[in-house]
């Protein structure tokens, strides 16, 4: 894996998805180091002198593809103090610093996997999903929950991949607006499943082929990850079959 490097970036675009969820595109001032889908970066909106100490920052999964070395995307949700500061500071043209790449939340290519994303946790899987091809024969199940259908990020890419790739199964959860989402999805040639409420293992389990042999990857808010980890263990999933992108 590449050694982490600190890179100055300009904010190229900011998309406000509503619900204080944002996608941000960054233009680094030089090509970023090689990274793998699932890795993350540190981002600071504070002043940084490369000769000095790294300032306060937060970490975000890299949502863009590793093939793009001159552009980066992250998605964040405003939670506490620092993401509130980011919401005020991040605007087109603004300078920010990142350091990357970090982490080992990298999906094993030769395993049958279940990817579970809550909210902006989808960022950890976005590049992997975008790079899937129809040659993939091992099952990949994406379980993705958000507060409302508008906050299902990357939905067009996910639906496009779902249409093209028979091995990809998609299950959406929406806390609000699930019936309207289900009605919209039913018009698709190969409709993903859709459930109301929060991600729930009892709903997912019967949909999985051979769940005991699946490798589960969980990314999202700590409360979601803790609940799903305990539900998986209660169903006999051993710790080596559960991988967590541990958010704080």
Ligand X SMILES: Cc1cc2nc3c(=O)[nH]c(=O)nc-3n(C[C@H](O)[C@H](O)[C@H](O)COP(=O)(O)OP(=O)(O)OC[C@H]3O[C@@H](n4cnc5c(N)ncnc54)[C@H](O)[C@@H]3O)c2cc1C
Task: Note the residues at the interface with ligand X (CB under 6 A).
Answer: 40, 56, 58-61, 74-77, 79-83, 103, 120, 123, 245-248
Rounded CA separation 147/177 (Å): 9
Least distance between ligand X and beta carbon 213 (Å): 26
Least distance between ligand X and beta carbon 110 (Å): 24
- Tokens 């806390």 label which residue? 175
Whose CB is nearest to ligand X?
80
> Nearer Cβ to ligand X, position 12 or 87?
87
> Nearer Cβ to ligand X, position 59 or 215?
59
Number of H helices, E strands in the chain: 6, 12
Least distance between ligand X and beta carbon 89 (Å): 13
Beta strands (DSSP E) in the chain are: 5-18, 21-28, 40-44, 58-61, 72-77, 95-102, 113-118, 140-146, 168-174, 193-196, 215-219, 242-245
Least distance between ligand X and beta carbon 56 (Å): 4
> Nearer Cβ to ligand X, position 59 or 167?
59
Rounded CA separation 39/105 (Å): 6
Rounded CA separation 179/14 (Å): 29
> Nearer Cβ to ligand X, position 204 or 218?
218
């Amino acid at each position: 894996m590449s050694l982490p490097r600190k890179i100055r970036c300009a904010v190229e675009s900011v998309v406000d998805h509503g619900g204080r969820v944002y996608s941000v595109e960054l233009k680094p001032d030089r090509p970023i180091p090689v990274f793998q889908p699932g890795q993350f970066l540190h981002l600071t909106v504070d002043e940084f002198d490369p000769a000095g100490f790294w300032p306060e920052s937060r970490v975000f999964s890299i949502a863009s593809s590793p093939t793009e070395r001159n552009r980066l995307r992250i998605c964040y949700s405003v939670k506490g103090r620092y993401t509130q500061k980011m919401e005020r500071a991040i605007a087109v043209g603004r300078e920010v610093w990142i350091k990357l790449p970090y982490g080992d939340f990298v999906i094993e290519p030769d395993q049958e996997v279940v990817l579970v994303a809550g909210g902006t946790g989808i960022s950890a899987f976005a590049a992997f999903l975008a790079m899937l091809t129809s040659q993939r024969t091992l099952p990949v199940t994406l379980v993705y929950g958000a507060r409302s259908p508008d906050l299902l990020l990357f939905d067009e890419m996910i639906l496009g991949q779902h249409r093209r790739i028979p091995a990809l199964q998609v299950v959406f959860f929406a806390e609000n607006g699930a019936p309207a989402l289900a009605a919209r999805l039913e018009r698709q040639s190969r409709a993903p499943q859709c459930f109301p409420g929060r991600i729930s293992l009892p709903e997912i389990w019967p949909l999985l082929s051979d769940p005991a042999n699946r490798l589960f990857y969980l990314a999202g808010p700590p409360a979601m990850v803790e609940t799903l980890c305990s539900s998986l263990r209660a169903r006999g999933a051993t710790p080596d079959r559960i991988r967590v992108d541990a958010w704080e």
